[in-house]
Amino acid sequence: MTTTVIAPPTIEQVCALAAFATARVRETTDALKRRIPELAEGAEKSADAALILRVPEALTLAIGYYEKTLLQQLEWPDGNPGILRQAWDDMLGLCAGWRDHPELPDDLREPLATAKPLEP
């Protein structure tokens, strides 16, 4: 079994990945709202529509959670390398679907290229 060692991120990489991922979620949510009238702003929403809109909200919360955890570990003098490594692995896995996106910042291409998508 081969293990890929992922270098710890920089504060700039963490912030850039969080901003990039949040923007992708927002774009997708906006596209859904344009294509499905019931999801549009101001439309009366059924329980199913509300459920659909909770998915991007949850993804945005997860991105924010990983960003906060990573920044705390990077900024604290006695941060835990294991927590840092796991949170970075998880955030990369969460964002792996965007590894070929043309707007992905260059310094994130290598970490995302080797990221293993999250599995249940």
Q: For residue 1, what pLDDT is reported?
A: 44
Q: For residue 4, what pLDDT is reported?
A: 53
Q: For residue 108, what pLDDT is reported?
A: 96
User: Using one digit for the tens of pLDDT, what is the confidence trace for 23-60?
Assistant: 999 999 999 999 988 888 888 888 898 899 999 999 99
Look-up of token digits 């979620």: 25
d(CA 113, CA 92) in angstroms, rounded, equals 9
Statement: residue 70 has pLDDT above 60: yes
Task: Please tell me the pTM assigned to this model.
Answer: 0.88
What is the radius of gyration, based on Cα positions, of the chain? 16
Q: DSSP characters for 64-103?
A: HHHHHHHHHHHHSTT--HHHHHHHHHHHHHHHGGGTT-TT
The mean pLDDT value for 2-11 works out to 71
d(CA 27, CA 34) in angstroms, rounded, equals 11
